[in-house]
Amino acid sequence: MTSRYDNVNHVPREALGVLAGGILGMMVAMAIGRFVFAPILPMMQRDLGLTHATAGWLASLNYLGYLAGAVGCSLRPKLLRSGTFNLGALVVSVGTTFLMGAATSPAGWGLLRFLSGTASAVLFVAISIEVSEAMARAGFERLTGALYGGIGLGIAVTGTVAPMLDTVGGWRAAWFGMGALAVLLSLAGIALAHKRGPALYIPGRPENVHGDLGSIRLLAAAYFLQGLGYVVSVTFIVAMVARTPGLESFAPWSWVAVGLAAAPSTLLWQMAGERIGVKGALFLAYVIQCVGILVGVRADSVLLVCVSAGLFGGTMLGVVTLAMAEGSRRAGPDARRAAAILTACFGAGQVLGPPIAGRLADARGNFTLSLLLAAGAIAAGAILIAIDKNFVGPPRGPRDKPSRDKPLTCVSRAGILPLL
């Protein structure tokens, strides 16, 4: 018997519009608001002499703002009922991107990156809830994972556009151009996703019910190490390639490779988790990412850069999706608190990683040690996943396979917190 999930062409037009608008929103909130610093960083270093250490601190402030926004959303979820509040977050996200091209000091850039991170977290939560509710109403919850492909797609787009803007007016033109791109994507997303139907559902906190939060300790530790390790590559990959002799012109395309690999990854890792179990899929993702980072240590050709970027980009969203889904499963009615704990651990790793990597790179003149330490953190995370006995085993037969109506996903009525 054919399920509604198999007949993707039968998805109601309204739900597809919300999904498409959400994908564009993720491009604005995440690919631009969060990650566009990566392809523009080499321009700022070339034109302004920005050190790796300063770049690390700017990245760290963005991640700190994102963590603050994530925690704020978990503590005051009712704010997301306000269209004015969400629109304000969008204005802040776009506005801070523009202002990065006008600011002239590390202090100003740091403040803008912090505010941009906070706005990105709010937008991520609002968009995730909006799209998940629309797809649930249409009976196609399983397609919600496609939303996060917008992050990878946006990374690929910004990696393509950034060098074009650089030829126009250097780092300032890049920031102004990305701000203009954010405006266009925002208007298109709003037009596509114009909401009809029931009001936005904001999950409340269950009263007098508690899950087993102790069961996520090893998972949380592994997730902290993921944040600590992956953030080195996501922050500095373009800058590293830009400083590799013979690969200077290919640097922005390394970011495109990351995005193209990331775009389909959430759906692919979701399917892997359903087929071989979350533990097997998560361990595999950690190992592949570790290998990708290690390849980057000796990436002195276009082929090796693409391999490194592909392995890294193809796993960074998958690890987060699987870990958040597993934490939600273990915590049961306490899924919101589990998501908050996991997000805090991951966020702490993200905040610590860039300044350490930047200082080491400045001191040693290259990123070799920084990448080796990042790979070590990911490898340690893989070991924790391997020894964690709280995972459910992989499906053994038809009866054990996940229901199409209840797919493996980090989006649920238990609560949504930012992934990255």
Residues 171 and 272 grouped into a single domain: no
Of 298, 350, 351, 294, give the one whose Cα is nearest residue 319: 350
Asked if the structure places residue 398 within a domain, the reply is no
| Host domain of residue 176 | 8-202
For residues 21 and 152, state if they share a domain.
Answer: yes
Tell whether 239 is covered by a domain: yes
Domain end, chosen from 202, 226, 259, is at 202
Please state, in angstroms and rounded to a whole number, the distance separating the CA atoms of residues 356 and 360. Answer: 6
- The reply to whether 157 falls in a domain is yes
Q: What is the pLDDT of residue 9?
A: 54
- Assigned domain for 215 exists: yes
Q: Are residues 44 and 137 in the same domain?
A: yes
- Do 279 and 193 share a domain, yes or no? no
Written as six digits, the tokens of 394 are: 């992989």
CA distance 252 to 158: 9
What's at 8, amino acid-wise? Answer: V
Computed on alpha carbons and rounded to an integer, the radius of gyration of the chain in Å comes to: 20
Domain count, the chain: 2
- Whether residue 260 is contained in a domain is answered as yes
Nearest to 293 by CA among 213, 379, 356: 379
Output the six-digit token pair for 237.
Answer: 């990959």
CATH code of residue 67: 1.20.1250.20
Q: How far apart are CA 241 and CA 228, in angstroms?
A: 21
Q: Give the domain-ending residue among 184, 202, 220.
A: 202
* 13 and 69 belong to one structural domain: yes
Give the pair of three-digit tokens for residue 359: 């200082």
Q: Are residues 13 and 111 in the same domain?
A: yes
Separation of alpha carbons 328 and 219, rounded Å: 11
Residues 56 and 186 in one domain: yes
In terms of Cα–Cα distance, which of 369, 361, 356 is closest to 293?
A: 369
Q: Are both 190 and 331 inside the same structural domain?
A: no
Residues 31 and 163 reside in one and the same domain? yes
Phi, psi of 37 (to 5 degrees): -60, -35
Summarize pLDDT for 323-365 with one digit per residue, the tens.
888 887 887 777 777 777 888 888 899 999 999 999 999 999 9
Same-domain pairing of 155 and 129: yes
Name residue 77's amino acid.
P
CA 358, 361, 367, 372 torsion-angle sign: negative
Q: Which of 202, 228, 258 is the C-terminal boundary of a domain?
A: 202
Q: What is the pLDDT along the chain (420 residues), one digit of tens a residue?
A: 444 444 555 667 777 888 899 999 999 999 999 999 999 999 999 999 999 999 999 999 999 999 998 888 877 877 877 888 989 999 999 999 999 999 999 999 999 999 999 999 889 888 888 888 888 777 777 777 788 889 999 999 999 999 999 999 999 999 999 999 999 999 999 998 875 444 444 444 444 445 567 788 999 999 999 999 999 999 999 999 999 999 999 999 999 999 999 999 988 998 899 899 999 999 999 999 999 999 999 899 999 999 999 999 999 999 988 888 888 788 777 777 777 788 888 889 999 999 999 999 999 999 999 999 999 999 999 999 999 998 887 766 555 555 444 455 554 444 455 556
Is-above-0.75 flag for pTM? yes
Task: Report residue 118 as tokens.
Answer: 């906070």
Domain assignment present for residue 273? The answer is: yes
Q: Which residues contact 292 (CB under 8 A, 6 or more apart)?
A: 233, 307, 308, 309, 310, 311, 312, 314, 315
pLDDT, tens only, 80-129 = 778 889 899 999 999 999 999 999 999 999 999 999 999 998 898 888 88
The phi, psi pair for 285, rounded to 5°, reads -65, -40
Whether residues 190 and 217 share a domain: the answer is no
